[in-house]
Amino acid sequence: MLERYFTRPDTVDRIRASWIGGPIERYIEWLTECHYSTRTIWHRVPVLFHFGQYAWEQGARTPDELPTFVGPFTELWVRDHGRNCTTSQALKQVAEDVRNPIQQMLRLAIPGYYGIGRKRKELEPLSNQAPGFFQYLKEERGLRETSIEHYRHYLRGFEAFLDKVALDSLSELSPPVLSAFITDYKGNLSKSSLTGLCSVLSVFLKYLHRERLTDKDLSGSIGSPKIYRHSDIPRSITWDEVRKMLDVVDCRTPLGKRDYAILLLFVTYGLRAREVAGLTLDDIDWKRDRLRIPERKAGHSTAYPLSSIVGEAIVDYLRHGRPQTSDRHVFFRVLAPPTPYTYSAVSGRVSHYLHKAGIRVHRAGSHTLRHTCVQRLVDSEFSLKSIGDYVGHRSASSTGIYTKVSIEALREVAMGDGEVIS
């Protein structure tokens, strides 16, 4: 494998002569399997080689001893190679560029090794103090995985806050601590997101009291914000703005081909980010021109006619942008390793193109285009029932908010009918 990337025999001999030559070569094989570029491999191998030399000089003799030297070597590397960095962010990037390949190699070489920032994330939040909570959500409450992921998200933030205030035991929780967390965490959360946070905390606190992990049921101290139905206007954009957004996508690149297909799926079918990220090759019926969206939020599946424009964009991506992989998901990361695109990344791409096109919208994201699709159907005078079924709403009341404001009608009222009142 080394000969594939290094043509000079003396370079190959030097790498293999290193006392960690075996782990380095296995790491190169892994990078190749994950479709990392040749340039990336050329950049990372010298880092690993110098790390091996440094660890040997410091007394390391077995791979199991290597983790001890990751931190000191990273600091030394940053001092030598970060002299021209003018910001703390640039220095942080230099540190990550050297630390990440070392930790990846050590994960392959040392069973059970995680490295900085990995092991904690792979555990369920607060699992050391409330180990049965997520099992409770799944088995007793019957929550789906997508709902449980919201609990993970908010409880990771809660766990980080407890670490920050040095509160080591959940039995020490109190209303002031909970209030401080919500105040610290809410930031730019919308009212609905803040309601979700409070709901998660309330369920968690009730579980702690049920399991006698806290003396009192503190769920009553969590007050959710008042949300009034139809109090907000959906954050949609005009169809001209949709065209403007699509025009800034560079469809000559694999990334652009993927993103263009994703954007068209949103504006054509009003899909959710999770539904786009979860699409597989099996969901597209090319013979019948059908697009199937399984396991929607409302608990059913939907089959759409496959638009020719959407179909052509997907085909272009599959032929010229999608990596070669046995995974059946449609959309993948462009950078190695080629893993399926996550729903948060999908939503982030929508926000990116809205900002790039200069379109200002509150909390830009995938739901902006979903709202746009629904609003266009409302303006075309489809029935609320038809629209709700089309986009997978649970009830007609979810669709009703789009009838709250008729922009064209308000515009006519504002302009008047030309009469002058004397």
What confidence tier does 289 reach under pLDDT thresholds 50, 70, 90? very high
For the entire predicted model, the pTM comes to 0.70
Q: Is the pLDDT of residue 7 over 70?
A: yes
Architecture of domain 133-221: Orthogonal Bundle (1.10)
Residue 36 — left, alpha, or beta (φ > 0 → left; ψ -120 to 50 → alpha)?
beta
What confidence tier does 17 reach under pLDDT thresholds 50, 70, 90? very high
What confidence tier does 395 reach under pLDDT thresholds 50, 70, 90? low
The gap between the terminal CA atoms of the chain, to the nearest Å, is: 90
Q: Is the pLDDT of residue 350 over 90?
A: yes
Q: What percent of the chain has pLDDT over 90?
A: 59
| 46-60, 78-92, 103-117: which is most confident | 46-60
Question: How far is it, in rounded angstroms, from Cα 261 to Cα 314?
Answer: 6
Question: How far is it, in rounded angstroms, from Cα 263 to Cα 347?
Answer: 10
Residues contacting residue 393 through CB under 8 Å, at least 6 positions apart? 298, 387, 399
CATH number 1.10.443.10 is the correct assignment for the domain at 239-410 = yes
The least confident of 98-112, 306-320, 391-405 is 391-405
Average pLDDT, stretch 269-298?
90
Q: Is the pLDDT of residue 415 over 90?
A: no
Tokens of residue 333, six digits: 């990361």
Structural domain spans, the chain: 2-119, 133-221, 239-410
CA atoms within 13 A on the CB side of 217: 8
Question: How far is it, in rounded angstroms, from Cα 15 to Cα 19?
Answer: 9
Q: Is the pLDDT of residue 227 over 70?
A: no
pLDDT of residue 120: 46
Average pLDDT, stretch 324-336?
92
Q: What is the pLDDT of the chain when averaged over all its residues? A: 87
Longest CA–CA span in the chain (Å) reads 98
- Catalytic positions: 272, 297, 367, 370, 393, 402
pLDDT of residue 422: 43
Q: In 3-state terms, the chain is what percent helix, strand and coil (to 5)?
A: 60, 5, 35
What confidence tier does 127 reach under pLDDT thresholds 50, 70, 90? confident
Nearest-5° Cα angle at 271, 269 to 274: 155
Q: Is the pLDDT of residue 400 over 70?
A: no
What confidence tier does 232 reach under pLDDT thresholds 50, 70, 90? low
Average pLDDT, stretch 136-160?
89
Q: Which of 81, 7, 26 is nearest to 50 (CA)?
A: 81
What confidence tier does 119 reach under pLDDT thresholds 50, 70, 90? very low
